[in-house]
Amino acid sequence: MSDSFLPVSAHLTPAAGALLFLGLILASSILADVVASRTRLPRISLLVMVGLGVAVVQQLVLGQAEAAPLDGLGEPLIQLALVMVAFLLGGELTLERLRTTGPLILIVSLAVIGVGALLVGVGLAALGFPLAVAVSLAAISVATDPAAVSETVHESGDTRLRARLLLGIVAIDDGWGILAFGLAMALLGWWLSGDGQAALALAGWEVGGAVLLGTAIGLPAAWLTGRLRPGEPTQVEALALILLLAGLSSWLEVSALLAAMLAGALVANLSRHHTRSFNEIEHIEWPFLVFFFVLSGASVDLRHLGDALWPMLAYIVLRLAGRYLGGVLGVRLARVRQAELPRDIGLALTPQAGVAMGMALLAAERFPQHGALLLSAVVGSTLVFEMIGPLLVRRVLR
C-alpha cells in the first residue's frame, strides 16, 4: 500500500506538537493532584518539578539549549495566568475588607515586607551581587503564597488572634508585592539607564500608564458587571477583561500586574455584583496556572543552575531572617495584645509560589543578562519555601 493512503503522517506538525504538549501538561496536573493528596507534598512544587523534567529532556537529552517550550505560545499563556492572579488579588482590596482587617494587620504586614525586602536587597548587594539582581530579588521576596498559609491555618483549627492575623495578612500580602515589584522595576530601569530623563519618563509611563489602563478597563467593567445575566455572558465578560488587560499592557509596555490589580480593585469596590466576574475567573484560572507552573520550571536554564546555587542560598537565608525580624518589629509596633502574638510570627509568612515566579519571569525579560540567574534562584527557592513553609506556619501556631 502506498504511503499516500496512510491515515497517519510520520511528521509531527508544530500545531499538533503544541496541542499534544498542552494536553500532557494538563494530564500531569491530574497526576500531581493524586501524588499531592497521598504524600501531602505541595502540588505547585510537583508541577514545577514536571517543568524541570521537561527542561532536562529538552536541554540535556535533545540538546536544544536555546529553545523555549511551545516557542511563542508559552509567553502569552504565562502572561494570562499572571493577569488573572493580579486581577483576583485586586478584588481582595475592598475598602470594607481593609476597614474590617484593622490597623494591626497593616502594621504587621508592612513591617514584615519592609524589613524583609530591605534585608534581602542590602544583604545581596553587600555580598557583591549586581544591583539589578539584588533589587529584583528584594521586590520578589515580598510575595507570599496565600494558599499554603490559609490551608495550614484551616487544618490546624486555630481561631486565636495569631491565626486570624495570618489570614488577614496573606489576603493582602501579594497586593503589596505587586505594588513593590512594579515600582522597583520602574525605578531600577531609571537608575541603571545612562539617559536619566528618558529612563525616568519610561519609568513614569510604566507605572502611570498601568494606572490609566487599569482605570480605563476597570471602570466600564464595574458598570457592566451584574448587568449581564449569570452564566455564559458573564464568563465571556471575564475572559474579555483578562485578554484586554494582558494584550493592551503588552502593547503599551506598561506593568500588566499593576493594571490588572487596579482593575480588579475598581470592579470590587464599585460594582454591587462584582463577585460574578471573579467567580468566573476562578473557575477557569487553574488550567492556566498549571501551564504557568510547568512552563516556569521548563524555562530554567540548566547550564546556569550551578551559578545560581550561591545566590539562591543567600536569598533563602536573608528572606527567612527578614521575615523573622520584620515580625518582631511588627509585634512591637502594634503594642496591642502582644502577649497573644509570637515574636516569630513573620516566619509563618515564608511560603512563596506563583506570584514570585511570575515576577522572576518578568524581571528576567527586563534584565536578560541576569535572567537565567534570577529565574533559577527563584524557582529553586520556591521549591524550598513551599516545602518548609507549612512546617513554619504550624510552629508559629503552636
Per the structure, the complete domain to which residue 158 belongs is given by 74-397
Q: Is residue 28 part of a domain?
A: no
- Would you say 281 and 242 are in contact if contact means Cβ atoms under 8 Å apart? yes
Whose CA is closest to 21, among 77, 80, 84, 81? Answer: 77
Q: Is residue 58 part of a domain?
A: no
CA distance 40 to 242: 32
- Give the per-residue pLDDT at 6: 46
Q: Is residue 10 part of a domain?
A: no
CA distance 33 to 41: 10
- Give the per-residue pLDDT at 194: 58
Q: Is residue 331 part of a domain?
A: yes
CA distance 379 to 299: 10
Q: Is residue 12 part of a domain?
A: no
Q: Which CATH number covers residue 141?
A: 1.20.1530.20
List helix spans (H) across the chain.
14-39, 43-55, 74-92, 95-126, 131-140, 146-156, 161-192, 196-224, 232-252, 256-270, 275-298, 309-334, 354-366, 371-397
Secondary structure (DSSP) of 224-272? HTTTSPTTHHHHHHHHHHHHHHHHHHHHHT--HHHHHHHHHHHHHHH-T
Domain count, the chain: 1
Residue with cell 462584582: 274
- Give the per-residue pLDDT at 317: 92
**CA end-to-end span of the chain:** 73
- Give the per-residue pLDDT at 1: 46
Q: Is residue 387 part of a domain?
A: yes
CA distance 271 to 274: 5
Q: Is residue 170 part of a domain?
A: yes
Q: Which three cell numbers stand for residue 53?
A: 523534567
Which residues of the chain fall below pLDDT 50?
A: 1-2, 4-6
Q: Indicate whether this model's pTM tops 0.85.
A: no
